[in-house]
């Protein structure tokens, strides 16, 4: 406990990201990065900034990220004023909690923000950071989100679609039923579409119909750019302005010049990413079937990862045995899911290595 920490910092329990080993020895299937490289056009765009004769990096980047937002607006058929760009979607989610949900002691008595009990574990961290009351709503037994559970009085709702770490997606009509319920009290529904490109229906086409809808996106997964830090949100102009107000009370230049150029190039090369992500999805289906064949309980995934429970071995033990074999996956020591593993989809033989290791571990089961 730091002597110099204020009460807020003392109270925080920060998010713990998946391990990022520095020696490159591991087959890394633990943080849902895309196994394929970014589009060559991204690399060209970044090089152009670096090689700019006038030394573009001398100058601050465009605080409004105009070119990137215009590229996104073209790609999604929305107005640039309906797009916010940020330093990865984590930053945008943090801003959204600060912009749209009241802190404890709110005189309006709007109630807590709702999100699933099993979901992206950053949400409770943001809620605590901003002192926003929240309630975790249990997922159904099969880990699906039951839309009806969110049609109750609350300050707002947030969940990923597909959900993480389960990978299960909710159809747009179910999301709409939640939006409709909360529209009456101007309650915001934030749909975190970090993994939507791998199989969920995006809610972006409905932003004009639902002024209380904010969709949040990342280039980390579907655009192979986790190392660049770029994300964006799409929603009505007022929501986007709310995010800008928080950003501009914090740091005007959250997206650097390289990230703005690289992200704009990525957004403009949809054809490349369609092919890359088609391959990721095909591999997901192959590996899901192979794991099910070994007796794993496999949750049907619409994301670039698989959430699965090995037969007869504790999740923590299976995780440790994979790690000994040089394979990193993600294990969450949390109620209901402590026997599951989240396995990101890899390429180039990595998934065959994973399947081989799983078979070995299951064969040795009971011998230790
Ligand atoms: N939302 C979800 C559901 C995620 O899993 C992640 C990645 N950990 C993010 C948002 C954040 O992604 P990024 O900050 O890399 O854009």
| Least confident residue range of 13-22, 231-240, 350-359 | 13-22
How far is the centre of ligand 1, averaged over its atoms, from the C-alpha of 90 (Å)?
Answer: 6
Task: Please state, in angstroms and as integers, the Cα–Cα distance from residue 302 to each residue in 2, 160, 280, 334, following that order.
Answer: 42, 11, 11, 22
* The ligand 1 atom nearest the CA atom of 31: 8
pLDDT level of residue 42 (50, 70, 90 thresholds): very high
Tell me the pLDDT tens digit for each residue of 162-196: 999 999 999 999 999 999 999 998 899 999 999 99
C-alpha–C-alpha distance, residues 34 and 344, integer Å: 8
Task: State the pairing for strand pair 297-299/213-218.
Answer: unpaired
279, 301 contact by CB (below 8 A): no
> To test ligand 1's pocket by mutation, which of 164, 225, 262 has the most ligand atoms within 8 angstroms of CB?
164
Supply the pLDDT for residue 19.
87
For the beta carbon of residue 139, count every other beta carbon within 10 angstroms: 21
For 328-341, give one letter per residue: b (16+ CB within 10 A) or e: bbbbbeeeebebbb
Task: State the pairing for strand pair 297-299/305-309.
Answer: antiparallel
Ligand 1 proximity of 308 Cβ (cutoff 6 Å): no
Ligand 1 proximity of 164 Cβ (cutoff 6 Å): yes
Task: State the pairing for strand pair 341-344/305-309.
Answer: antiparallel
Ligand 1 proximity of 220 Cβ (cutoff 6 Å): yes
Q: Which fold has domain 40-268?
A: 3.40.640
C-alpha–C-alpha distance, residues 137 and 7, integer Å: 28
Ligand 1 proximity of 193 Cβ (cutoff 6 Å): no
- In the block, residue with structure tokens 């969110």: 150
- State both tokens at 120: 């992206």
How far is the centre of ligand 1, averaged over its atoms, from the C-alpha of 221 (Å)?
Answer: 8
How far is the centre of ligand 1, averaged over its atoms, from the C-alpha of 322 (Å)?
Answer: 24
* The ligand 1 atom nearest the CA atom of 119: 3
Tell me the pLDDT tens digit for each residue of 250-298: 999 999 999 999 999 999 999 999 999 999 999 999 999 999 999 999 9
Residue 251 C-alpha from the chain's centroid: 22
| Least confident residue range of 105-114, 142-151, 203-212 | 105-114
* The ligand 1 atom nearest the CA atom of 231: 16
Task: Please state, in angstroms and as integers, the Cα–Cα distance from residue 228 to each residue in 41, 43, 334, following that order.
Answer: 14, 11, 30
C-alpha–C-alpha distance, residues 61 and 261, integer Å: 10
Q: What is the mean pLDDT of residues 6-11?
A: 91
How far is the centre of ligand 1, averaged over its atoms, from the C-alpha of 184 (Å)?
Answer: 29
C-alpha–C-alpha distance, residues 272 and 152, integer Å: 42
> To test ligand 1's pocket by mutation, which of 120, 193, 262, 305 has the most ligand atoms within 8 angstroms of CB?
120
Residue 349 C-alpha from the chain's centroid: 25
C-alpha–C-alpha distance, residues 178 and 215, integer Å: 14
Ligand 1 proximity of 236 Cβ (cutoff 6 Å): no
- What are the strands, taking DSSP E only, across 161-210? 188-192
Triad 237, 243, 249: Cα angle to 5° = 135
How far is the centre of ligand 1, averaged over its atoms, from the C-alpha of 232 (Å)?
Answer: 11
Q: Which fold has domain 21-37+271-367?
A: 3.90.1150
Listed by start position, the domains of the chain span: 21-37+271-367, 40-268
Helix H segments across the chain?
7-11, 40-50, 66-76, 89-100, 123-130, 172-183, 237-247, 257-267, 270-293, 315-324, 350-363
- In the block, residue with structure tokens 């997206």: 255
Supply the pLDDT for residue 368.
53
Ligand 1 proximity of 192 Cβ (cutoff 6 Å): yes
């Amino acid at each position: 406990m730091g002597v110099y920490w204020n009460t807020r910092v003392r109270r925080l329990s920060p998010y713990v990201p998946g391990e990022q080993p520095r020696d490159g020895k591991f087959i890394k299937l633990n943080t849902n990065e895309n196994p394929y490289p970014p589009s060559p056009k991204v690399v060209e765009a970044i090089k152009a900034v670096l090689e700019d004769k006038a030394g573009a990096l001398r100058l601050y980047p465009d605080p409004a990220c105009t070119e990137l937002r215009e590229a996104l607006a073209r790609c999604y058929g929305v107005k640039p004023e309906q797009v916010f760009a940020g330093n990865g979607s984590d930053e945008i989610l943090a801003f959204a909690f600060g912009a749209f949900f009241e802190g404890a002691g709110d005189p309006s008595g709007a109630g807590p923000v709702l999100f699933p009990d099993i979901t992206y574990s950053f949400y409770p961290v943001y809620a605590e950071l901003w002192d926003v009351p929240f309630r975790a709503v249990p997922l159904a037994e099969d880990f699906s989100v039951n839309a009806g559970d969110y049609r109750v009085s609350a300050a707002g709702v947030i969940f990923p679609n597909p959900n993480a770490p389960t990978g299960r997606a909710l159809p747009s009509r179910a999301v709409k039923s939640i939006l409709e319920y909360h529209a009456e009290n101007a309650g915001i529904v934030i749909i975190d579409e970090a993994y939507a490109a791998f199989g969920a229906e995006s809610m972006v086409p409905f932003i004009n119909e639902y002024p209380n809808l904010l969709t949040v996106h990342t280039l980390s997964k579907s655009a192979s750019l986790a190392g660049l830090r770029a994300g964006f949100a799409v929603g009505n102009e007022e929501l986007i302005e709310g995010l800008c107000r928080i950003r501009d009370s914090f740091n005007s230049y959250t997206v650097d010049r390289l990230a703005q150029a690289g992200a704009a190039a990525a957004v403009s090369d949809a054809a490349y990413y369609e092919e890359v992500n088609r391959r990721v999805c095909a591999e997901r289906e192959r590996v899901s079937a192979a794991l099910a064949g070994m007796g794993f309980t496999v949750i049907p995934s619409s994301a670039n990862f698989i959430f699965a429970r090995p037969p007869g071995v504790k999740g923590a033990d299976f995780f440790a045995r994979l790690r000994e074999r040089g394979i990193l996956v993600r294990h969450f020591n949390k109620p209901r899911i402590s026997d599951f593993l989240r396995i990101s989809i890899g390429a180039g033989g990595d998934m065959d290595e994973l399947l081989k290791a799983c078979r070995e571990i299951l064969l040795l089961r009971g011998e230790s």
